[in-house]
Amino acid sequence: EDVDKGTAEIFISHTWSAKFGDLVSAVVDVCPDETYVWIDIFAVLQHAKDANGDSLFDESDLRFDLVVEKVRAMLLVCNVCDEVGNIPIESILRREAGIGLVEKLPPLRVWCCFEIFNAVKQKTPIVIQAGTAKKCTTVEEGVIRPFELACRNSMLNLLQLVDLEKSKAKFDCDRVRILNQIREESSIAECNAIVK
């Protein structure tokens, strides 16, 4: 079978709760066609278990920090809408109004913050795509919708929320492991400051 494969050049950081079409649109918007990207959902069989309940993945596969150090750049995809930019910053900081809009976005996800932290530590350039795939009145099969950037305030508001102690992960065991790894290498406070 003729498979187009190569060494990953760009690490893609994203949240699992985002729309896959938004992720694809953001990647296509930034990366030339010949670019090889690393996306966790295709590279690692995370948290899969066999019929006996035994893990089908190796813990070392979850060391995304080792992948980040080998790529040329990281693309952080934030599926955020302009509504986030209109939420008063005081409400966001108190985690009141609008938290439902932002709680699944990268600044509140432990994996994304950990990936950003490692990219900064390793001096890996980070490109941020904050927005969504453009809404279209008609959908053509095989055509990727263009990516539409959100307002700058949306990202600035989100960055105020970075707090690894309060961050989330789909699986709490990931959160615990990542926080422990950060504590071994640095501190939570330093990580928060670097990601912000």
Q: Does pLDDT of 45 surpass 60?
A: yes
Q: Which residues contact 127 (CB under 8 A, 6 or more apart)?
A: 30, 73, 74, 75, 76
- From CA 93, how far away is CA 96, in angstroms rounded? 8
CA distances from 196 to 67, 149, 191 (A): 22, 20, 9
Q: Residue range 10-15: average pLDDT?
A: 90
Q: Does pLDDT of 137 surpass 90?
A: no
Amino acid at site 189: A
Output Rg (C-alpha) for the chain, integer angstroms. Answer: 17
Q: Are strands 73-78 and 126-133 parallel, antiparallel or unpaired?
A: parallel
Looking at every residue in the chain, the average pLDDT score rounds to 79
Instruction: Dump pLDDT digits (tens) for 74-131.
Output: 998 887 765 666 666 666 666 665 555 556 677 778 888 899 999 999 999 998 888 7
Instruction: Dump pLDDT digits (tens) for 176-192.
Output: 989 999 999 899 999 99
Q: Say if residues 15 and 110 touch (Cβ distance below 8 Å).
A: no
